[in-house]
Amino acid sequence: MSMTAPPAPAPISNDPGRAWRIARPLAGIAVFGSLALLFGGVDVGVFALRVVLLVGLVVLAAALLQGKTRKFFSGPAAYMATFSLFVLVVLAIFATEISPQNPYDLRQLSIMDGRLPPGSTTFDGSMTFHLGTDEQGRDILSGILYGLRISLSVSIIATLIAMLIGVVVGIYAAWAGGRIEAVLMRIVDFQLSFPSILVALMLMAAFGRGLDKIVIALIIVQWAYYARTVRGTALSETRKEYIDAARGLGLPSWRIIFRHLLPNCVPPLIVISTVQVANTIVLESSLSFLGVGVPITQPSLGLLIANGYGYMLSGQYWMSMYPGLALLAIVASINLVGDRLRDTLNPRLTR
């Protein structure tokens, strides 16, 4: 009587790509959930939320550059921009733990410490203001760290939601075609025909000041950019053979869109979303500088610049100059990283 050997156990998969495919959505959910909780004021002081947010951002960046790290870091500018952006993001996330003072806790402020130059100490000598103070005695360094957190949180949340809306509109317009595409694209053209700052000012004048209101205004301003980008990319992809093959196999439309069409629209989305985060920070800072952005109890970099703008001619430059330099640093770092991502993710683009 012959006996057959038992089947060999299936080998354990060591495919790193599968691990990254699992890690990407988990990291995205962790980042968005942490941002939502921190932005909504739920357990803002919990240190673990900030750690989860930072780890999620690092995992997303590593998954994005999987196999392309050497190409991304092909010059010293990429190292400098990435390091600067990482440091600024860490400072913004852990502003509460790093800041020497809570600049918006009235119990920690003294009018006797108002408008002190950089390097001064408090009236009782217990604290050094490395970047000086403003007219109300608030530490400029602490205000910059808190302002970075507000500006980055508002811009990232607004960019993510605007991208989601734009992707849905752009994909649907490209897939449906005909009158639906024409109507949706005319709405996009109408939206893009107005300057962003003008639309945002009109919306903030109607909504009033507030973090949630400025996020809504920034979403309305941004979504059309993503809709146009996704629609153009999706139109070129729908003419390719793999989409015709999927249709010939009788696959449902939702599977073709989510499994085949949408993944091929992601690279340009990543590039434009990175640049749009910087543009959103500038737009939010401009609105706050004009007095229609975030409330004074939750200031951003634009509001810090506005608070010290009136003292520039009197020689008290530090109240506006240092927040302006912080705004310049974060915007320049994001733009340089976005430029490197464009060159890395688009193999057809050469300098």
Per-residue pLDDT at 12: 47
Residue 1 has pLDDT above 50, yes or no: no
pLDDT band at 325 (very low <50, low <70, confident <90, very high): very high
Q: What is the pTM of this model?
A: 0.86
CA distances from 11 to 7, 15, 19, 23 (A): 12, 11, 16, 22
CB 136 within 8 A of CB 111: yes
Q: Which residues of 282-319 are buried (b: 16+ CB within 10 A; e: fewer)?
A: bbbbbbbbeebbbeeebbbbbbbbbbbeebeeeebbbb
Query: What number is the average pLDDT over the span 153-176?
Result: 90
Task: Tell me the pLDDT tens digit for each residue of 293-314.
Answer: 888 777 789 888 988 888 888 8
Alpha helices in 40-133 (DSSP H): 47-64, 69-72, 76-93, 95-98
Q: How confident is the model at residue 40 (pLDDT cuts 50, 70, 90)?
A: low
Look at residue 59 and tell me whether its pLDDT is greater than 80: yes
pLDDT tops 50 at residue 43? no
Q: Which residue has the higher pLDDT, 337 or 57?
A: 337
Task: Name the average pLDDT for the chain.
Answer: 83
53, 38 in Cβ contact below 8 A? yes
Candidates 151, 209, 102, 145; CA nearest to 334 is 151
The rounded percent of the chain whose pLDDT value lies above 90 is 27
Confidence check: pLDDT of 10 > 80: no
Residue that wins the pLDDT comparison between 294 and 5: 294
pLDDT mean over 341-345: 83
Name the least confident of 23-32, 172-181, 267-276, 306-315: 23-32
Domain chopping of the chain, boundaries:
154-345
DSSP string, 169-190: HHHHHHHH-HHHHHHHHHHHHH
Between 293 and 226, name the one with better pLDDT.
226
- Residue 39, pLDDT score: 60
Q: Which of 226, 162, 220 is nearest to 191 (CA)?
A: 220
- In the three-class reduction of DSSP (H, G, I as helix; E, B as strand; rest coil), residue 311 is classed as coil
Residues 325 and 84: beta-carbon distance below 8 Å: no
Q: Is the pLDDT of residue 350 over 90?
A: no
| pLDDT given at position 216 | 92
Closest alpha carbon to 148 in 300, 279, 287: 300
Three-class SS state of 121 = strand
What CATH number is given for 154-345 in this structure?
1.10.3720.10
pLDDT tens digits for range 86-119 = 999 999 888 888 888 888 777 887 778 888 889 8
Locate tokens 């595409």: which residue? Answer: 181
Distance, CA of 266 to CA of 167 (rounded, Å): 10
3-state secondary structure of 115: coil
For position 121, what pLDDT does the model report? 84
* Token duo for residue 181: 């595409």
In whole angstroms, what is the distance from residue 86 CA to residue 207 CA? 34
Choice among 23-37, 62-76, 95-109, 123-137 with the minimum mean pLDDT: 23-37
DSSP 8-class letter at 120: E
Three-state DSSP class for residue 222: helix
Comparing 16-25, 168-177, 260-269, the range with the smallest average pLDDT is: 16-25
Whether the per-residue pLDDT at 210 is higher than 80: the answer is: yes
